[in-house]
Amino acid sequence: MGLFDTARPNPAGYRDVNVTDVKLPAQGYRLIDVREPHEYTGELGHIKGAALVPMNSVVAQAANWNKDEELLFICKSGGRSANVASALQRMGFTKTMNLVGGMLGWNAAGLPTEK
């Protein structure tokens, strides 16, 4: 059973994942950080193994992704990543997820980051 199967369904079609449910290294799902480069390397850092794909590049990059792969999107607070998860769901991606609370929640939980 993957992370998607245990995540909480959202009315927009994607699933919400709590920071405490993420296990590293990511196994069976891809971590995608949709923030800007200066945020990725900034004060909040990023989750080890997360690929940086800024929000405005996601649709173009998604053309290269498997529509049935588990994709966990991350941003600063969970707003941008929720929008991306919802947009890709509408594009036919079947297992999109949003990290609730984003990097603010991740840091508040004392979880490890890289800069």
pLDDT in tens, 59-100: 999 999 999 999 999 999 999 999 999 999 999 999 999 999
Instruction: Give the CATH number for residue 65.
Output: 3.40.250.10
Q: Is residue 20 part of a domain?
A: yes
| Buried b or exposed e, range 50-62, using 16+ CB within 10 angstroms | bebbebeebeeeb
Q: Is residue 32 part of a domain?
A: yes
- Residue 34 forms part of a structural domain: yes
Whole-number CA gyration radius for the chain: 13
Cα–Cα distance for residue pair 16/59, rounded to 1 Å: 20
Backbone region of residue 72 per phi and psi (left: phi > 0; alpha: psi in -120 to 50; beta: other values)? beta
Task: Out of 9-23, 34-48, 62-76, 90-104, pick the least confident.
Answer: 9-23
In the chain, the number of structural domains is 1
Tell me, yes or no, whether 65 lies in a domain. Answer: yes
Q: What residues does 73 pair with on adjacent strands?
A: 32, 98
Determine the structural domain holding residue 82 and report its residue range.
Answer: 3-108
Residue 115 covered by a domain: no
Asked, for residue 51, whether it belongs to a domain, the answer is yes
| Residue 113 counted as domain residue | no
Percent of the chain exceeding pLDDT 70 equals 99
